[in-house]
Amino acid sequence: MPFIYHRTVHFQDTDAAGVVYFANVLSICHEAYEASLSAIGIDLRHFFRNSEVAIPIVHASADFLAPMFCGDLLEVRLLAKKLSDDKFDVNSEIFAAGGAERCLAKAVTRHLCIQPAKRTRQPLPPEVLRWLEEMG
């Protein structure tokens, strides 16, 4: 079942042409990812500052299907998929909010769990596994 995140496009999200700047699509998707973690009770302060576990993005891609403008209401639909004991993907689809089933953009981010000091792979922590179960 996807996690749903609602967001309004802000002026700062747009470029000189008045549409959402390409890199900001990934930023909006990352906001949805953070909101989904928080929604199941993960403490974001601890999650992103944990000295024992880091889960950096190791790959990102996006497809832009239609322009998004300042003031547009968006619905980000997020699904996560465990790929291995130390890796998962987050798939995001951005739709115009308000019932229109028009997909505006799609993005994928791949996340890898590491031990920050050694920069070595390690298994995903229990709270992320729980999040993946709910997001899958």
Q: Could you give the residue numbers annotated as active site?
A: 15
Query: What DSSP line would sit under the chain, residue for residue?
Result: --EEEEEEPPGGGB-TTSBB-HHHHHHHHHHHHHHHHHHTT--HHHHHH-SS-B--EEEEEEEE-S--BTT-EEEEEEEEEEEETTEEEEEEEEEESSS---EEEEEEEEEE-EETTTTEE-PPPHHHHHHHHHH-
Q: Within 13 Å, how many C-alpha atoms sit on residue 66's CB side?
A: 11
